[in-house]
Amino acid sequence: MKVLILSCNTGGGHNSAAHAIAEAMAWHGGEAYVMDYLTLAGEEVSRLVGDGYVHIVKKTPLLFGMTYKLGMVISKITRKSLVYYVNGRMAKYLNKYLKDNPVDVLIMPHIYPSETIAYMKHKGMKLPLTVAVMTDYTCIPFWEETDADYYIIPHESLTDVFVKRGLPKEKLIPLGIPVSRICRREISKEDAREKLGLSTEKKYILAAGGSMGAGNMGKLVECLLKSTEDEELIVICGSNKKVEKHLKKTFGSEKRLTILGYTNQMSLYMKACDILFTKPGGLTSTEAAVSGIPIIHTEPIPGCETANCKFFGKYGMSVSGTTVKGQVQAGLRILYDEKEASKMKENQQKNINKMAADDICCFIREHLNDK
């Protein structure tokens, strides 16, 4: 089985899901490739789209939130949006690529290539089995104008949300959001700390910024340092060099604080630490839940992150607060309330399918001949 996974660089979550599926496909004997499909039109196109999206989210989150809400309105009153027609322009590039490099399955963990697929179907272009994978705990604008053969959604309880947005119920498959196998590896907190050179006696608080930042990380770090005495704080800034530089300049002398940039040991840190402060991204939150660490959600970027935060809170898989102080207070309460922390981990195990990537592969293999 040859699989092409079409993603693009608008934040790290979509690519993480893509690589998790590719990893599972290889594990199950398949052949899977991840492609930033915008590069088919040129590296410059991919860079402009990716950098532009990230810039808007980082610099003007309120504008992003307004655009998201506007998209929800537009998608209700128009048959096809500008998003559909813009991504439709990628059809000629993808069609040529598939003719030269035929595959058995196309997987889209992003709406942009899904819109292109819908355009290609409308134009009668030949396509293999197409499977869209949702990476947020809601139905974002314009999914209803796509036309995949199947849609992998994060949770069974969200089925009605997607149906109300216009997706056919018979195409919705509630298997979960795919994460890498490394997130579910069995390792004790003590062994994880030993590998990272951390003390087995102390309490560790982890704060993660991710590829798109985590709100005002400086205020969070300041509040955590003021609200604690002996606890150790580890901050992972990901690819956000600006945040990393600012934190090191402002808090570099703090002995209880460790500031890191990008690390490929994120899953190990989640296994080693006691609580996690993170933005409510769909992938980040799912990875944390699979890792089994109590989650404190920081301020969401308006839009899908707001929905993610509500979903996790509804099922007792995270806590949050309307202010940084409130978030810190909620986190410290869980840090020292073993019963509440255990209940949250139990809720995570109950509601998040850690085997989603493998289940997606098995589902696709079973339905390969549906076309």
Of 40-54, 174-188, 315-329, 355-369, give the lowest mean pLDDT range: 40-54
Q: Which CATH number fits domain 2-179+354-370: 3.40.50.740, 3.30.2420.10, 3.40.50.300, 3.40.50.2000?
A: 3.40.50.2000
CA distance 170 to 149: 10
CB 151 within 8 A of CB 173: yes
Query: Could you report the per-residue pLDDT of 67-90, keeping only the tens digit for each?
Result: 545 555 555 656 677 778 888 889
Mean pLDDT of the chain: 89
The answer on pLDDT for 51 being more than 70 is no
Highest mean pLDDT among 5-9, 182-186, 352-356: 352-356
Please report the pLDDT score of residue 74 as a whole number: 55
For residue 265, the SS3 value is coil
The answer on pLDDT for 212 being more than 50 is no
The answer on pLDDT for 12 being more than 90 is no
Please report the pLDDT score of residue 148 as a whole number: 97
Which residues face 259 on adjacent strands?
Answer: 235
Query: What mean pLDDT comes out for the span 292-301?
Result: 92
Please report the pLDDT score of residue 10 as a whole number: 66
Q: Output 142 or 99, whichever has higher pLDDT.
A: 99
For residue 229, the SS3 value is coil
Please report the pLDDT score of residue 240 as a whole number: 82
The answer on pLDDT for 205 being more than 50 is yes
**Which residues have CB under 8 Å from 142's CB, separation 6+?**
71, 75, 81, 83, 84, 111, 115
Please report the pLDDT score of residue 116 as a whole number: 94
According to CATH, where is 3.40.50.2000 located in the chain?
Answer: 2-179+354-370, 182-351
Query: Could you report the per-residue pLDDT of 131-184, keeping only the tens digit for each?
Result: 999 999 999 888 999 999 999 999 999 999 999 999 999 999 999 999 999 999
pTM: 0.89
The answer on pLDDT for 190 being more than 80 is yes
Please report the pLDDT score of residue 68 as a whole number: 47
Please name the amino acid found at residue 300. P
Q: Phi then psi for 367, rounded to 5 degrees?
A: -110, 15
Please report the pLDDT score of residue 332 as a whole number: 97
CA distance 1 to 258: 45
Give the up-direction half-sphere exposure of residue 246: CA atoms within 13 A in the CB hemisphere: 14
Domain 182-351 bears CATH identifier 3.40.50.150: no
Please report the pLDDT score of residue 45 as a whole number: 65
CA distance 15 to 284: 12
Smallest CA-to-CA distance from 312 within 342, 367, 350 is with 350
